[in-house]
């Protein structure tokens, strides 16, 4: 497996790093404090092509590969994990499913506008009683002539309160065994009967919108069905393979930010007459952090490289997401510890990093679910 980063990928990484430093970083603290969706920065991300990075040029995107996209999420998340997830969800599960499974007409209507950032995408799978058990969704789509009528509720939808286009999963045939009855639909924000419900107040990722969606007799033409009837569960799972690489990259960005802050702080903070970085207890903590971040990076790059080559990457994506998110949590917790009392205050950004890291272990499949995905893939490999 070649983990070499090409010149083109480096160029994109630099462009995004500069944008993150100049445009996103100065606003990161106020986004966290205000918990307001950073609409103007999202617009600027669209202006420089960030919202359509891995989308082919013929569909209005930049045509970069999945590794470049992953590097971009990492760089944005390094300064703002909230903007990192807005970008990740918009792209990997908000736009890519339409590109992968859409008809020509669906792609023409939705993809260029999403890639340009004129519209924002979201992915609506989770329900109050169907989180880890994604087959348990109850939102219904009943076929009535040449249309479908959707009724139900979704929760914890990232970009939920702000998106224009939602890929929504609903049961079309409850008589068919579990996942065979799930179908995907494209729902536009202004469709009658659709509304955004409660917006969540979260521990972290302030500024990223997490909302409930309500569907009451939402009538959709059959042309808004994504893929065939009964294909929905597999569409969701296959797109989450890519999405989880994005979350791994987000976690990697958060961990790196915390680590860099720790390196700077421990060299400048003096106790007992010397910089605390000179104490072995601190050095071993930094060494462990550096090792975990490097391992998370290798797993994430590997999964992204497989995705870029259109090869199966479910197991690798789950490994990357699981390991990178655990790394983000352990590194940010240890960095708060190294900052001592200051780390527990809002004077430094490290407490934000710790709050932001937690959700990477939870969304796009909890880390317990990632282990199930990995174990299932191993079991399959053993029988092949
Ligand atoms: N690609 C394509 N097909 C897949 C697939 C994949 N990656 N994974 C599974 N499938 C197929 C299987 O082959 C199987 O098909 P057949 O019956 O034809 O063989 C079918 O889907 C059912 O698969 P399983 O039997 O494995 O399904 P399961 O119900 O036992 O479990 C699960 C699957 C892994 C637990 C799954 O439900 C899961 O991933 N749960 C977590 C849900 C999740 O990640 N939610 C995230 C919400 S989105 C989000 O968080 C975004 C955000 O806001 C940040």
- Residue identified by tokens 């639909």 is 185
Residue owning the nearest CA to atom 17 of ligand 1: 179
> Which of 130, 134, 184 is the pocket-test mutation for ligand 1 (most atoms within 8 Å of CB)?
134
**Would you call 346 helix, strand, or coil by DSSP?**
coil
* Span from the CA of 136 to the centroid of ligand 1 (angstroms): 11
The pLDDT of residue 175: 75
The pLDDT of residue 177: 64
pTM, rounded to two decimals: 0.97
Q: Which CATH number fits domain 240-382: 3.40.50.1860, 1.20.140.10, 1.50.10.10, 3.20.20.240?
A: 1.20.140.10
CA-wise closest residue to 266 among 257, 278, 254, 281: 278
**Measured CA distances, 236 to 183, 283, 355, 357, 361 (Å):** 10, 43, 27, 24, 19
Give the integer Cα–Cα distance in Å for 253 and 108.
33
CA-wise closest residue to 44 among 26, 71, 67: 26
Length of the chain in residues, anyone?
384
Full DSSP string of 134-180: GGG---EEEEETTEEEEEEEEEEEETTTT-SEEEEEEES-TTS-GGG
Q: Which residues pair with 327 in a beta bridge?
A: none
Domain covering 122-232 in this structure, CATH number = 2.40.110.10
pLDDT (tens place) for every residue of the chain, 384 residues total: 567 889 999 999 999 999 999 999 999 999 999 999 999 999 999 999 999 999 999 999 999 999 999 999 999 999 999 999 999 999 999 999 999 999 999 999 999 999 999 999 999 999 999 999 999 999 999 999 999 999 999 999 999 999 999 999 999 987 776 678 999 999 999 999 999 999 999 999 999 999 999 999 999 999 999 999 999 999 999 999 999 999 999 999 999 999 999 999 999 999 999 999 999 999 999 999 999 999 999 999 999 999 999 999 999 999 999 999 999 999 999 999 999 999 999 999 999 999 999 999 999 999 999 999 999 999 999 998
Residue owning the nearest CA to atom 11 of ligand 1: 234
* Span from the CA of 343 to the centroid of ligand 1 (angstroms): 38
Token pair for residue 280? 């072995």
Ligand 1 residue neighbourhood (C-beta within 6 Å): 89, 93, 123, 125-126, 132, 134-135, 158, 179, 233-234, 237-238, 240-241, 314, 363-365, 369, 372-373, 376
User: Do 122-232 and 240-382 agree at the fold level?
Assistant: no
| Residues with catalytic function | 364
ipTM, interface predicted TM-score of the complex: 0.97
Question: Does 7-120 carry CATH code 1.10.3330.10?
Answer: no
Give the integer Cα–Cα distance in Å for 199 and 197.
7
Domain regions of the chain by residue span: 7-120, 122-232, 240-382
State the alpha helices, DSSP H only, in 80-156: 81-88, 96-101, 104-115
* Span from the CA of 235 to the centroid of ligand 1 (angstroms): 9
């Amino acid at each position: 497996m070649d983990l070499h980063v090409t010149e083109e990928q480096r160029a994109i990484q630099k462009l995004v790093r500069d944008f993150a430093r100049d445009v996103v970083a100065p606003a990161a603290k106020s986004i966290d404090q205000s918990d307001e969706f950073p609409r103007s920065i999202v617009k600027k991300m669209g202006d420089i092509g960030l919202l359509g990075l891995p989308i082919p040029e013929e569909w209005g995107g930049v045509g970069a590969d999945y590794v470049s996209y992953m590097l971009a999420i990492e760089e944005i998340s390094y300064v703002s994990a909230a903007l990192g997830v807005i970008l990740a969800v918009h792209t990997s599960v908000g736009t890519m499913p339409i590109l992968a499974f859409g008809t020509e007409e669906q792609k023409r209507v939705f993809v260029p506008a999403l890639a340009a950032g004129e519209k924002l995408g979201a992915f609506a799978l989770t329900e109050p009683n169907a989180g880890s058990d994604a087959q348990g969704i109850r939102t219904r789509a009943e076929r009535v002539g040449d249309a479908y009528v959707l009724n139900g509720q979704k929760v914890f939808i990232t970009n939920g309160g702000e998106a224009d286009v939602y890929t929504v999963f609903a049961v079309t045939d409850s008589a068919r065994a579990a996942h065979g009855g799930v179908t995907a639909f494209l729902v536009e924000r202004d469709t009658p009967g659709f509304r955004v419900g409660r917006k969540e107040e979260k521990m972290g990722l302030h500024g990223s919108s997490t909302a409930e969606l309500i569907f009451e007799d939402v009538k959709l033409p059959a042309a808004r069905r994504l893929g065939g009837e009964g294909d929905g569960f597999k569409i969701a799972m296959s797109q989450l393979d890519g999405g989880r690489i994005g979350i791994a990259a987000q976690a990697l960005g958060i961990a790196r930010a915390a680590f860099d802050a720790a390196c700077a702080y421990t060299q400048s903070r003096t106790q007992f007459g010397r910089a605390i970085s000179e104490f072995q207890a601190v050095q071993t903590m930094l060494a462990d952090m550096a090792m975990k971040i490097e391992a998370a990076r290798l797993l994430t790059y590997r999964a992204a490289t497989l995705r870029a080559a259109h090869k199966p990457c479910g197991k690798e994506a789950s490994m990357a997401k699981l390991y990178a998110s655990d790394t983000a949590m352990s590194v940010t917790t240890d960095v708060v510890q190294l900052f001592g009392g200051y780390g527990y205050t809002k004077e430094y950004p490290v407490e934000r990093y710790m709050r932001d890291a937690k959700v990477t272990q939870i969304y796009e499949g909890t880390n317990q679910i990632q282990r199930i995905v990995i174990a299932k893939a191993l079991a399959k490999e053993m029988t092949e």
